[in-house]
């Protein structure tokens, strides 16, 4: 059975037995959403993703290119490759630097 996680996202087609899966496990999502491009997918069940956000300097009236990078957990039922655009949702901390979980891959 797939749980309703409260977000309008596509449900994964596969089932999984991952405890840290918002659809099939015990992980609840709440808080912020973060969407970005996957820049690293080598680690097991963890990806890094990056988002560009301009920073405005009022002193110079100019924008600088800002980036923010986070780590996110990938449940077993979702396949993610480097270069994909994904949507992640905040969850409880899974490890030291991982407190987001992938909920959708946007192709």
Which stretches of the chain bind Zn ion, using CB under 5 A?
A: 16, 21, 23-24, 75, 77
Taking the least distance from each CB to Zn ion, the nearer of 9 and 16 is: 16
- Backbone angles phi and psi of 3, in degrees to 5: -80, 145
* Smallest distance from Zn ion to CB 49, Å: 19
CA 102 to chain centre: 4
- Asked if residue 84 lies in contact with residue 48, where contact means CB atoms within 8 angstroms, the answer is no
Compute the least distance from the CB of residue 23 to Zn ion, in Å.
4
Question: Considering beta carbons, is residue 49 or 78 the nearer one to Zn ion?
Answer: 78
Q: Which is nearer to Zn ion, 4 or 67 (CB)?
A: 4
In the complex, the smallest distance separating the C-beta of residue 19 from Zn ion, rounded to whole angstroms, is 10
Structure token pair of residue 38:
């996957």
Phi, psi of 47 (to 5 degrees): -125, 160
* Contact yes or no for 34/56 (Cβ under 8 A): no
């Amino acid at each position: 059975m797939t749980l309703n996680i409260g977000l309008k996202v596509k449900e994964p087609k596969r089932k999984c037995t991952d405890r840290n899966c918002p659809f099939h496990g015990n992980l609840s999502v709440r808080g912020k959403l973060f969407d970005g491009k996957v820049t690293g997918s080598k680690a097991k069940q963890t990806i890094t993703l990056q988002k560009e956000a301009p920073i405005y300097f009022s002193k110079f009236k100019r924008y600088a290119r800002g980036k923010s990078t986070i780590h996110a957990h990938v449940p077993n039922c979702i396949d993610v490759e480097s270069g994909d655009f994904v949507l992640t949702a905040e969850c409880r901390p899974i490890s030291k630097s991982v407190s987001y979980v992938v909920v959708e891959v946007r192709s």
